Structure 1
Amino acid sequence: MLLTSIDPFVQEFERQFNRLARQSFDTGGALMPMDGLRRKDDVVLRFDLPGIDPDSIEVTVDRGVLSVSARREEEIVEDERLFVRERPMGTFTRRVYLSEHLDSERIDAGYHNGVLVVRIPVLERAKPRKVEISRGDSKAIKA
């Protein structure tokens, strides 16, 4: 049996602390949301990168780590004055650790409508396969 006390003050404090911690210590991962899905022959990663110049996107693989970097540049000209800033600017990076069952030599990537799609093939030896069952002659045991 688990006993906990419910203190609304503590819950609100923890909620606010967690919100501030995410804002203050976020390493940029949340700025590049990702979906990952496994299909029969590959793994697909989709990264949201709206407003990013495709030429600034870089996808690299080094020792089993896939890194995606992108840069959003300042768009203010000389006679404009910024009064609200909610869109983050600068360079964003996201790292994904790849399984040894993925073929990091044959990764491909494409960018369309603000979404970067990275496809990583599954190695042949890691794909599910059917195991044949051999049937031997049945021998009757005499007692």
Structure 2
Amino acid sequence: MATYDPFRDLDRLASTLLDARRGGGPRRMPMDLYRDGDHYVLAADLPGVDPGSVDIDVDGQLLTIRAERTLGSGEGVKWITRERETASFVRQLNLGQGIDTDGISASYRNGVLSVTIPVSEKAKPRRIAVSTDDGDGVIEAHESTPQPIEQ
């Protein structure tokens, strides 16, 4: 015996109206971003997305992630209820300076996209030897750490 829940129908109606107001455009994907040693790691939730539909590109210092969730329907299928929707996802990040854009890599596992963004060699902290004219020795200095990625 099925029970009727009017709040579920109201929630579905509100979601439909809000999606129509937004124009049904791309949705944002929730993500986490953290630094782990010499690289940043971005983890984005993309449940139900075919890995083949994920597109990641870098244009200058702008990283763009796009993904598409499609739901198949067999011929002759009669839907009882359909709450999962097809959707487009997009996220853009300004990488800032000090990032090795050629070394960016990505993997997709269990509905989570992981993007590894390495810090460039030029931006890593390093020691700089400073010599003196009087030959008393060498003074060492340190460079500061790179700036974080901006959202």
Give TM-score, length-normalised by structure 1. 0.67
Count of matched residue positions in the alignment of Structure 1 and Structure 2: 117
**1: distance between equivalents of 2:130 and 2:83?**
61
1:98 aligns with 2:104: no
Deviation string, structure 1 residues 69-114 (Cα, Å, up to 9, x no partner): 1111122223334454443313221111111111111111111111
Deviation string, structure 1 residues 11-42 (Cα, Å, up to 9, x no partner): xxxxxxxx98x75448511xx11110012200
Residue correspondence of structure 1 range 38-77 to structure 2 within 5 A = 38-77=35-74
Q: Cα offset for 1:116?
A: 0.9
Task: Tell me which amino acid in the other structure corresponds to 1:44.
Answer: V
Structure 2 unaligned residues grouped into runs of 5+ = 1-13, 137-151
**Structure with the higher fraction of residues in strand conformation:** 2
Query: 2:34 maps to what in 1?
Result: 37
**Structure with the higher fraction of residues in helix conformation:** 1
**1: distance between equivalents of 2:52 and 2:32?**
22
Give TM-score, length-normalised by structure 2. 0.63
Structure 1 unaligned residues grouped into runs of 5+ = 1-18, 138-143
Task: Tell me which amino acid in the other structure corresponds to 2:107.
Answer: G
Q: Cα offset for 1:131?
A: 6.1
Task: Tell me which amino acid in the other structure corresponds to 2:33.
Answer: G
Task: Tell me which amino acid in the other structure corresponds to 2:112.
Answer: V
Give the root-mean-square deviation of aligned CA atoms: 3.0
Whose radius of gyration is greater, 1 or 2?
1
